């Protein structure tokens, strides 16, 4: 297998046009390739500058999870810190986790940040939403968002070989009018559900508003975690 390492967007487009299979850290596909056969050529974005950005409001798809630091919102940093082992985080990439993984531990965090995605295809780059990236498995180049007022992330303990542990991600955003609103995303099993509510009142009123969103279908055990995380992030917002 030939591994191609483009250093510019035109070069990356050429690799795609010539049939190179995109690969991140290969933590997920290596075993499949060993079983099913390796492609003739693969492409990694690890040398592409646009895919290695780490900024307050932007993150490249080729960034390794262990490199995600305090330049990023808390919700993203904490999400990355819970993925696998230290060895996995030193090889797994942002793009591989969001697009290639069935668990998508970073997806709830990206959703509550209202992140937009930049993707790459043979015709160039364009912006789209995360739902399209996940459903169509686009080649993710990077994410960008507006920094939240505050954010949080909780992942329950899981058992080896058991179901995916419950994840609750939260972020409070300030609107153009100065009013705050809260975004919540929950991974329950393999499904991710999200909702938004204004923060003009106390936690109980916010939680009731969230019950009227898609989050209202969550089971009671998940709602207990949502209640805890919402109460916590709103208390931190009050001190912001």
Q: How confident is the model at residue 37 (pLDDT cuts 50, 70, 90)?
A: low
Task: HSE, CB side, 13 Å, CA atoms: give it for residue 67.
Answer: 16
User: What confidence score (pLDDT) does residue 23 get?
Assistant: 81
The answer to whether residue 239 scores a pLDDT higher than 60 is no
pLDDT averaged over every residue in the chain:
90
Of 188, 206, 189, which is closest to residue 197 (Cα–Cα)?
A: 206
Of 203, 167, 170, which is closest to residue 186 (Cα–Cα)?
A: 167
- The architecture of the domain spanning 2-34+41-144 is 2-Layer Sandwich (3.30)
Q: What is the pLDDT of residues 3-25, one digit of tens each?
A: 899 999 999 999 999 998 888 65
Q: Kindly report the CA angle at 68 between 52 and 166, in degrees rounded to 5? A: 120
Of 23, 155, 32, which is closest to residue 100 (Cα–Cα)?
A: 23
Higher pLDDT, residue 92 or 240: 92
Higher pLDDT, residue 177 or 124: 124
User: What confidence score (pLDDT) does residue 117 get?
Assistant: 97
User: What confidence score (pLDDT) does residue 63 get?
Assistant: 96
Q: What is the pLDDT of residues 210-220, one digit of tens each?
A: 999 999 999 99
Q: What is the pLDDT of residues 92-118, one digit of tens each?
A: 899 989 997 888 899 999 999 999 999
Provide the token pair at 2: 């030939």
Using CA atoms, how far apart are residues 152 and 208, in angstroms rounded to an integer?
20
User: What confidence score (pLDDT) does residue 27 get?
Assistant: 52
């Amino acid at each position: 297998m030939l591994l191609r390492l483009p250093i510019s967007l035109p070069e990356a487009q050429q690799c795609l046009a010539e049939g190179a299979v995109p690969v991140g850290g290969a933590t997920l596909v290596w075993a499949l390739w060993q079983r099913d056969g390796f492609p003739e050529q693969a492409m990694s974005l690890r040398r592409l500058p646009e895919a290695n950005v780490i900024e307050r409001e932007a993150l490249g798809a080729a960034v390794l999870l262990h490199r995600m630091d305090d330049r990023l919102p808390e919700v993203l940093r904490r999400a990355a810190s819970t993925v696998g082992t230290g060895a996995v985080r030193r090889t797994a990439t942002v793009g591989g986790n969001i697009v290639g993984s069935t668990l998508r531990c970073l997806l709830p965090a990206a959703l509550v940040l209202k992140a937009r995605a930049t993707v790459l295809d043979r015709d160039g780059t364009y912006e789209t939403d995360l739902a399209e990236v996940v459903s169509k498995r686009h080649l993710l180049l990077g994410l960008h968002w507006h920094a939240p007022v505050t954010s949080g992330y909780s992942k329950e303990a899981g058992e080896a070989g058991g179901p995916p542990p419950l994840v609750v991600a939260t972020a409070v955003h300030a609107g153009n009018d100065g009013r705050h609103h809260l975004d919540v995303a929950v991974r329950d099993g393999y499904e991710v559900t999200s909702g938004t509510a204004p923060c003009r009142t106390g936690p109980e009123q916010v939680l009731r508003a969230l019950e009227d969103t898609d989050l209202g279908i969550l089971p009671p055990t998940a709602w207990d975690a949502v209640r805890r995380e919402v109460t916590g992030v709103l208390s931190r917002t009050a001190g912001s």
